[in-house]
Each structure stands twice: as C-alpha cells, then as structure tokens.
Amino acid sequence: MDELESSELGTQTYWQEAYKKEIANFDEHGDPGDVWFGEDSACRVIDWICNCGVAKDTAIIDLGCGNGYTLQKLSEEGFSNLLGVDYCMEAITLAEKVSKEEFPDIKYKVFDITTGNLEDLGCKFGLVHDKGTYDAISLNPNNPKEQREKYIQQVVDMLDDKGLFVITSCNWTSDELVNQFSDRLRLRRVIPTPQFKFGGKVGSVVSSVVFEK
C-alpha cells in the first residue's frame, strides 16, 4: 500500500505552533479554535455514538483531542467518563482552558499515542475516538508506515473486549481504513457521509468508520 506524501502536519512542531496561536486567540477573544473537518462530520459521529448502545459511564478516550471539542459535545450528551490525550502540551492547555467552566469533569493528559505507555492511561476503554490524528500520524516525515503500525497496535491494546474504535479521516477512504485496521479489529459500521461524483467515480470528503475489538 502506498504511504501518503509527508507534510508538516505530521510533525509535532507544527501542532505546537498552531496551538500556541489558538491559546492566544482563546485568551484574547474566547475563540476555542478549529473544528477539524467541520461541525457536520463531528455531529454525525456524535449522533452515532449516542445511538449505538454505549453506556453513559463507558470509559471514552479521544486520541489527539486538540481543543477537546468532541469530548465537550459528548459531555453535553451525558457521557461522564471522558479522557482526552494529545502529544502537545499546548493542545492540552487549550482544551483545559476551553473546558474549565462548563466541562470540569473531562480529564486531559499529555500522551504520545505512538510511544506512550498504556499503563499511564489508568484503564482500558470501551470507546476510542479519533478525528484527524491517524491522518496526522500518516503524514509523519519519518517512517509513517512504522508510526501507523504502532498506532494501530496501541489502539487494539487500549480497547476493552468488544470495545469500539471510531475513526474519522480525510486522508484515507473508508476502504483504505478497513484494509489497514481489519487484521486486528472487526468492521462494525461505515458511518454514511455525503458523497460526490466526479468523472464517473463516487467519493467522500471524509470517512468515518467504526471497528469493534
């Protein structure tokens, strides 16, 4: 399988600089920052999670949580056991600032998914969520295949038996995601996303796929 062409979005320096600016924006204007891939794609996933039968006290982790948007939405829906991790201290600082008033129960932690020790997370998870983080890891200029492999194994190891992994990507199609994860996880659902047709081929701008351990 071909790897993606590497990009600065695959480097930690890029995200550190981006979140430094977002912290300054939040401090100055109260702007919490980007919703990656737009609110519609986040809403589709949150709706699916709300209706899939997962208990409200299920341990949920958001990988590469950024400003914590997904966890804040899940908290609004009544989910109570929420942890966000990101390898940028700046992202965690921003997420904590944004969540502080309304969502004080969401926990955040600096953690690198590809190298972190899973015992530091304190438990296994009934639901693991990712929006855009596997994408960033896939763009790493240093051996992206190895980074992706490490990520996939960490996700498998942090899931409870029968736990769900919900991933949204704009770089990989749902078929490619199934191809990359289905050695170790079972496909549960491809969440329908709007499609476009060009030159006789049908495609989606983002793919959201659910796997089960």
Ligand X SMILES: C[S@@+](CC[C@H](N)C(=O)[O-])C[C@H]1O[C@@H](n2cnc3c(N)ncnc32)[C@H](O)[C@@H]1O
32, 46, 125, 132: which one binds ligand X (CB under 6 A): 132
**Strand residue runs (E) in 52-145:** 60-63, 82-86, 107-110, 125-131
- 108 is an interface residue for ligand X by CB under 6 A: no
**Host H or E run for residue 143:** none
Closer to ligand X by CB, 98 or 113: give it.
113
Strand partners, 204: 195
- 32 is an interface residue for ligand X by CB under 6 A: no
State the residue number with the nearest CB to ligand X.
64
Contact string 134-163 vs ligand X (x = CB under 6 A): --xx--------------------------
Contact string 65-104 vs ligand X (x = CB under 6 A): xx--x----------------xxx--x-------------
25, 80, 114, 193: which one binds ligand X (CB under 6 A): 114
172-194 as b/e, with b when 16 or more CB fall inside 10 Å?
bebebbbebbeeebeeeebbebe
- 133 is an interface residue for ligand X by CB under 6 A: yes
CA atoms within 13 A on the CB side of 122: 12
17, 96, 112, 212: which one binds ligand X (CB under 6 A): 112
What tokens does 15 get?
Answer: 């995200």
- Gap between the Cα atoms of 55 and 78, Å rounded: 10
**CB of residue 197 to ligand X, shortest distance in Å:** 27
